[in-house]
Amino acid sequence: MTARALPLFLAVCLVSLAPALGAQSSVQEFRLGGSAKILNEECIRLTPETPYVSGSAWFQNPMDLNYPFELTVDLVLGNNNELGADGIVFVFHPTMQTGYRGEGMGFAGLYPSLGIEFDTYQNFHLGDPANDHVAIMPHGQAHHARSMVGPVEIPNLENGARHPLTISWHPGKQKLEVKLDDELVATYTGDIVSTIFGGNSKVYWGATAATGRKINFQDVCIRKLVYALVD
């Protein structure tokens, strides 16, 4: 992929009574796991075009879900369509780990966690629809019987293009919103601090991805991160 050079901008939301504030300004501030490698000043390659690998990129400072956030990135899910797999998951988790590869997309097995998956391969035994899809999943569960939202079918993501993604959390409304390619594709309303994280509002966020027998390079490129940081 030839990345268009853009300045990396990370900001901190100044909220009244917010916890300790801080900001990072480089992809160097992400903790990488598995196959993940830094591509340039704004992009991280989570997986190369290699079978049976998984990678993760975790921002090293946690966030507090008692405060709002808005995260904007670009996802690149390779250019192998029929022969491509498996997808990227945007994850919230109390620690920074990489889950199972293949159909697990580097997210499976992470507990407790909340994952927003962008799945590019149909696994029939997991209840996947025929097309690429988005779903909000709890606790590293890959089967859509466990979905909190979705699966929602979306147009093909494996076209080598950047797909803008914005994830926002509004704690006053207890609403999580996901926009992909400037379209609202998923909304969840509920107390995720209590129901997912057992009352612990301090979590890390990151992106995970994996391949199996079928492969794709899969990248995440940081555009704008706005939220309150905690120690």
205-221 per-position pLDDT tens digit: 999 999 999 999 999 99
Residue 163 has pLDDT above 70, yes or no: yes
pLDDT digits (tens, 9 = 90+) for 64-86: 999 999 999 999 999 999 889 99
Compute the average pLDDT of residues 116-130. Answer: 94
Confidence of residue 150 (pLDDT cuts 50, 70, 90): very high
- Answer yes or no: is 99 within a domain: yes
Hey, what amino acid is at 156? N
Taking a C-beta distance cutoff of 8 angstroms, is the pair 220, 43 a contact? yes
Is the pLDDT at 18 greater than 60? The verdict is no
CATH number, residue 93: 2.60.120.200
| Domains: count for the chain | 1
Instruction: Tell me the average pLDDT of the chain.
Output: 87
Q: Is 141 contained in some domain?
A: yes
| Pairing status of strand 218-227 against strand 69-76 | antiparallel
Host domain of residue 206: 29-64+75-163+199-227
User: 206 lies in a domain?
Assistant: yes
184 part of a folded domain: no
126 is a domain residue: yes
pLDDT of residue 229: 62
Is 13 contained in some domain? Answer: no
In a domain, 44, yes or no: yes
Residues 6+ apart with CB under 8 A from 195: none
Residues 151, 152, 153: CA angle, nearest 5 degrees = 115
**Is 70 domain-assigned?**
no
